[in-house]
DNA sequence: CGAGTTTATTAAACCGGTTTAATAACATTC
DNA sequence: GAATGTTATTAAACCGGTTTAATAAACTCG
């Protein structure tokens, strides 16, 4: 590979000038610029990324830390990542996927993080990734709020879980549902904690009490119950226990599909006997489902883009004032899995 | 941030020694090592990644280039990426997601690629990403074979598409199906080209001719027909044109769901009237589907891991001989979407 | 037209590590 | 106990760029 000195020599200029031609940090004359570029083309020269980084102290990469433990992508992750990559690229930044629990890096590999900042997805309570970023002086943006002690000032992007749950409940109650079962995400996730509380509160505002058996949490990824989440709960509560449930809020599309199966096995129908509302799923799947599933669109891609924009502000790439905590709207997308009940009395 | 000189001074050793303590490239005495580590802990010192990279000429990162154009993840991608990340991490490598068509990088951002090698997913014919890797001297492994002129010697990981199609056809024909429609992937993808040819050939071996209307290709991602792929084709061929089709091979789970809907709208049933076989999809979705979908497991995660292992061999991280082109088996997973037909005659 | 200002260029220092070649300290061997 | 081999340590060169401070050349303007 040709280096800057080779170009400088052949173009009869100093390496500082060659540097300026490429970095465009100081002006260069047309004459010189063309000579340098011409020589560079001949030699196939391109500035060395690492050398540049060493002195500028910028790696032009941001980390994207996905929740570790058992690593897994859902539709939400997928679209979120999509948003992050595209937005980052528009600022010349690359995205480094990051799942290694840092304390496990063995000595000969141990180095500083080659990133300028990070987007941390779905932090858990006292998330160590966040503690590490904080210690390592790496600017970061979280998706979902931080729940670490000793860290107060943090920028984040999130859906308004309280507002969303409130909207969902209002939507369902407005359609006559009073017995709503909530199949929540895993209980360790901060979103899950928020949503649970908001759900109970929203129901209370409609004068409805939520009994314990109406809220469930997704089992751990590697547990044996994981794959049947939604099915088992539905069979148990609606079948065996014969509790009254007219609507089910499912955390994601897969859970909803499980519920769909259980409902079918109970010889009930959706949305005739039971309505289903999905919080987060793959739109194309939910459209193709039968019946198609009414859902909340969390706009994960928009969340991703916004998180990068926030990070760029922190890195000084974007100038000006900015909100430290951005809320992205969740939008209800009506499809065919929720019916209106009790309308008989209303209309007749 | 503390630097190596600070540590060297306080530990009363030369920076070269400190370097050796961390990189473990040369032996150091216990006494010295402990002194250095102790000082490092005090100062919170960690070697600077960029500085190390500059001289070792290793970034300890590999690129993962996802097919560009409109960037989108399917279940295959998701699991594949999963495999790549986990395997790479075990060698101390990080993964840089890469989707920027390189020729679009604007001047002030133009630098060499900060990666040691790359995994290129699903190359298209004459893929420019590959040409660039080749020119830039960056070792790479492809998933699916290369179809670039002037590049002959390439390492790759792949499923045996011919064998797979042959197995699928044998499976379906064995169950009495003779009229099989194939909803293939997008026609620009090399897998799609391979599979089409293999499908026709496999059918021929069973003495069956494939008519033109029995093979379709997924529309472009941003086209209006994209979302309805599977539905439209089924409605048209089985409905409007009233062609005889007893089994449909769908490229992915979503396409299969579309087909499922069309079949329902035609007042037919799966697998009673029409059988469905999925080539690649999210297992948890296919299990939850009703009926659950029989599919070919491409083992994307295994493909990802193998591709990294190949790359590590090329980078000299792994020693010893190795296959340049690895084939990962596709396994048929029987569920409930394929029925045996014509068995009446056989048995009676 | 000469003092003052602006603009493009450059030589040298610098970023923070690794690596080479030299050396000092300690073990072996005969 | 001198000659040889081994091991840990170090000073200095080096990786390939950017940046600073100095300078030369080209403009302003009274």
Question: What ipTM does this complex have?
Answer: 0.86
Residue A237 domain-assigned (yes or no): yes
CATH code for the domain of B10: 1.10.260.40
pLDDT at A70 exceeding the cut of 50: no
pLDDT digits (tens, 9 = 90+) for B306-340: 999 999 999 999 999 999 999 999 999 999 999 99
pLDDT at A347: 37
Based on the domain organization, do A114 and A220 belong to the same domain?
no
Based on the domain organization, do A241 and A308 belong to the same domain?
no
Determine contact, residues A190/A144, Cβ cutoff 8 Å: yes
Rounded-to-integer distance, Cα A45 and Cα A196, Å:
57
Rounded-to-integer distance, Cα B185 and Cα B192, Å:
5
Band (A38; pLDDT cuts 50, 70, 90): very high
Report the range of poorest mean pLDDT among A2-6, A31-35, A266-270, B225-229.
B225-229
Residue A52 domain-assigned (yes or no): no
Determine contact, residues A264/B292, Cβ cutoff 8 Å: no
Buried b (16+ CB within 10 A) or exposed e, B3-25: ebebbbebbebeeebbbbbbbee
Percent of chain A residues past pLDDT 90, beyond the cut: 69
Closest residue to C8 measured CA to C1′: A28
- Per DSSP, the three-state class of A325 is strand
Q: Which A positions 161-180 lie with beta carbon below 8 A of chain B?
A: none
Based on the domain organization, do B235 and B150 belong to the same domain?
no
Higher pLDDT pick, B21 / A283:
B21
Kindly report the average pLDDT of chain B as a whole number: 90
Q: Is B51 on the interface with A (CB under 8 A)?
A: yes
Higher pLDDT pick, B71 / B121:
B121
Residue A67 domain-assigned (yes or no): yes
Non-local (6+) Cβ contacts of B190 within 8 A are: B122, B123, B124, B125, B144, B145, B147
Based on the domain organization, do A96 and A23 belong to the same domain?
no
Determine contact, residues B85/A21, Cβ cutoff 8 Å: no
Residue A54 domain-assigned (yes or no): no
Nearest nucleic acid nucleotide to A53, CA to C1' distance: D17
CATH code for the domain of B319: 3.40.50.2300
pLDDT at B45 exceeding the cut of 70: yes
List the domain range (segments joined by +) for residue B30. Answer: 4-55
Domain count, chain A: 3
Rounded-to-integer distance, Cα A254 and Cα A259, Å:
9
Based on the domain organization, do B247 and B337 belong to the same domain?
yes
Based on the domain organization, do B188 and B263 belong to the same domain?
yes
Based on the domain organization, do B23 and B71 belong to the same domain?
no
pLDDT at B345: 44
Q: Check if residue A15 sits with its Cβ under 7 angstroms from strand D.
A: yes
Inter-chain touch B288–A114, beta carbons under 8 Å: no
Which residue in the set A59, A73, A100 is minimally distant from B82, CB to CB?
A73
Q: Give the residue from A43, A270, A288, A293 with the most B CB atoms within 10 Å of its CB, the best one to mutate.
A: A288
Based on the domain organization, do A170 and A101 belong to the same domain?
no
pLDDT at A68: 55
Which residue in the set B46, B97, B110 is minimally distant from A22, CB to CB?
B110
Based on the domain organization, do B22 and B49 belong to the same domain?
yes
Based on the domain organization, do A188 and A226 belong to the same domain?
yes
Rounded-to-integer distance, Cα A130 and Cα B285, Å:
33
Based on the domain organization, do A172 and A291 belong to the same domain?
yes
Q: Which residues of B touch A227 (CB under 8 A)?
A: 284, 287
Query: B189: left (phi > 0), else alpha (psi -120 to 50), else beta?
Result: beta
Q: Give the residue from B288, B291, B304 with the most A CB atoms within 10 Å of its CB, the best one to mutate.
A: B288
pLDDT at B126: 76
Domain boundary among B36, B55, B74: B55
Based on the domain organization, do B322 and B180 belong to the same domain?
no
Which residue in the set B71, B105, B264 is minimally distant from A86, CB to CB?
B71
Inter-chain touch B114–A95, beta carbons under 8 Å: no
Band (A220; pLDDT cuts 50, 70, 90): confident
């Amino acid at each position: 590979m040709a280096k800057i000195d080779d170009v400088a020599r052949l173009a009869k200029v100093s390496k500082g000038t060659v540097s300026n031609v490429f970095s465009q940090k100081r002006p260069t004359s047309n004459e010189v610029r063309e000579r340098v570029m011409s020589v560079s083309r001949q030699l196939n020269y391109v500035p060395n990324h690492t050398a540049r980084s060493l002195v500028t102290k910028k790696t032009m990469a941001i980390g994207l830390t996905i929740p570790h433990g058992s690593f897994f992508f859902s539709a939400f992750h997928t679209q979120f990542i999509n948003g992050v990559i595209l937005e980052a690229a528009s600022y010349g930044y690359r995205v480094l996927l990051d799942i290694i629990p840092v304390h496990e890096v063995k000595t000969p590999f141990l180095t500083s993080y080659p990133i300028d900042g990070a987007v941390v997805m779905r932090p858990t309570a006292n998330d160590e990734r966040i503690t590490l970023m904080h210690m390592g002086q790496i600017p970061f943006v979280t998706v979902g709020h931080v729940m670490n002690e000793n860290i107060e000032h943090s920028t984040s992007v999130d859906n308004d879980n309280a507002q969303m749950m409130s909207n969902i409940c209002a939507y369902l109650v407005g359609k006559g549902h009073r017995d709503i079962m909530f199949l929540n995400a895993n209980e360790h996730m901060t979103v899950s904690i928020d949503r649970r509380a908001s759900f109970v509160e929203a129901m209370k505002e409609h004068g409805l009490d939520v009994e314990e058996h109406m809220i469930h949490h997704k089992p751990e990824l590697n547990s044996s119950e994981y794959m049947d989440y939604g099915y088992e709960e539905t069979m148990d509560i609606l079948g065996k226990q014969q509790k009254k449930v007219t609507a089910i809020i499912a955390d994601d599309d897969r859970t909803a599909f499980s519920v769909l199966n259980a409902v079918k096995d109970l010889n009930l129908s959706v949305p005739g006997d039971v309505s289903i509302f999905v919080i987060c799923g793959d739109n194309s799947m939910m459209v193709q489902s039968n019946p198609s599933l009414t859902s909340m669109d969390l706009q994960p891609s928009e969340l991703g883009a916004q998180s990068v924009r926030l990070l760029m502000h922190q890195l000084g790439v974007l100038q000006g004032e900015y909100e430290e905590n951005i809320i992205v709207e969740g939008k209800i997308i009506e499809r065919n899995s929720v019916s209106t009940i009790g309308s008989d009395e209303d209309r007749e």
